[in-house]
């Protein structure tokens, strides 16, 4: 492999909306934790040189245990209160590489094709993200939850992970003052903020994020019926 690639597995969230006593990445999914399954699929399908995993404060040991079971070298860093803080800490720990792939630990079904496609696109464009086009009619609402307008759904994409960036671009983004980073819900948003283009790459419906118990049950159903594609 001529290019050096760093992986950041973002597992630093507390998952408060999930409603459990521990973060949702430790929920059971077919006999393994969500984190373990996400890490296993990612490491089996991505070519990489370095791996950094973010962990919620107080769960560093548990996080390290789940990843260590897969073998190989990695680093665990304590995440922050917001996602951008966690990725910033991970990026500093990662060190210089050519490309950085960031993936959410609560998206357990990454595919080989999406990883290949975003890596190729990031090499050309500097930044690429997996996303799926909206299929429902999309409404923009007022603060009073009445319809303000209907949006052309052909131009609406729902962003997923993995996301891939050239290292220099991502470092430039995260070297900004914290007030420029606060509130960002994904790394691509920060790249957009400095005026750099982000390429949208067709993702996959199975790359959904486990946010609620219903999402976990859907993931279990896919596993049980062998519906997860490579």
Q: Give the model confidence (pLDDT) of 80-112 as tens digits.
A: 888 899 999 999 999 999 999 999 999 999 999
pLDDT grade, residue 180 (50/70/90)? confident
Q: How far apart are CA 30 and CA 201, in angstroms?
A: 29
- pLDDT cut 90: percent of the chain above it: 82
Q: How high is the mean pLDDT of the chain?
A: 92
Q: What average pLDDT does this structure show over 42-56?
A: 94
Q: Which residue has the higher pLDDT, 20 or 133?
A: 133
pLDDT of 21 strictly over 90? no
pLDDT of 1 strictly over 70? no
Q: How far apart are CA 10 and CA 176, in angstroms?
A: 20
Tokens of 146: 């009445």
pLDDT of 15 strictly over 70? no
Q: How far apart are CA 87 and CA 12, in angstroms?
A: 9
Which pLDDT value is given to residue 117?
Answer: 97
- Which letter does DSSP use for residue 40 in this model? H
Q: What average pLDDT does this structure show over 56-73?
A: 93
Residue 120, number of CB atoms within 10 A of its CB: 14
Burial class (CB in 10 A: 0-12, 13-18, 19+), 183: exposed
Which residue reads 């990612």 in tokens? 42
- Domain architecture of the chain: domains with CATH: 5-224 (3.90.550.10)
Q: Which residue has the higher pLDDT, 17 or 102?
A: 102
pLDDT of 61 strictly over 90? yes
Q: How far apart are CA 42 and CA 74, in angstroms?
A: 13
Beta bridge partners of 139: 150
């Amino acid at each position: 492999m001529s290019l050096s690639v760093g992986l950041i597995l973002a597992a630093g969230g507390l998952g408060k909306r999930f409603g459990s006593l521990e973060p949702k990445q430790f929920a059971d999914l077919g006999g393994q934790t969500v984190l373990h399954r996400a890490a296993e699929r990612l490491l089996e399908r991505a070519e990489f040189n370095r791996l950094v995993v973010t962990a919620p404060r107080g769960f560093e040991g548990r996080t390290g245990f789940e990843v260590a079971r897969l073998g190989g070298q990695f680093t665990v860093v304590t995440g922050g209160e917001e996602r951008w803080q966690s990725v910033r800490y991970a990026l500093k720990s990662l060190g210089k590489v050519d490309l950085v792939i960031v993936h959410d630990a609560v998206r357990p079904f990454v595919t080989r094709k999406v990883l290949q496609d975003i890596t190729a696109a990031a090499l050309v464009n500097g930044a690429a993200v997996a996303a799926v086009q909206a299929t429902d009619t999309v409404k923009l609402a007022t603060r009073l939850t009445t319809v303000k307008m209907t949006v052309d759904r052909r131009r609406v994409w729902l962003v997923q992970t993995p996301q891939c960036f050239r290292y220099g671009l991502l470092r430039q983004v995260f070297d900004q003052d914290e007030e420029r980073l606060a509130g960002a819900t994904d790394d691509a948003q920060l790249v957009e903020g400095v005026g750099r283009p982000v390429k949208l790459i067709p993702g996959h419906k199975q790359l959904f994020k486990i946010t609620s118990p219903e999402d976990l049950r859907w993931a279990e159903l896919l596993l049980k019926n062998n519906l997860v594609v490579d």
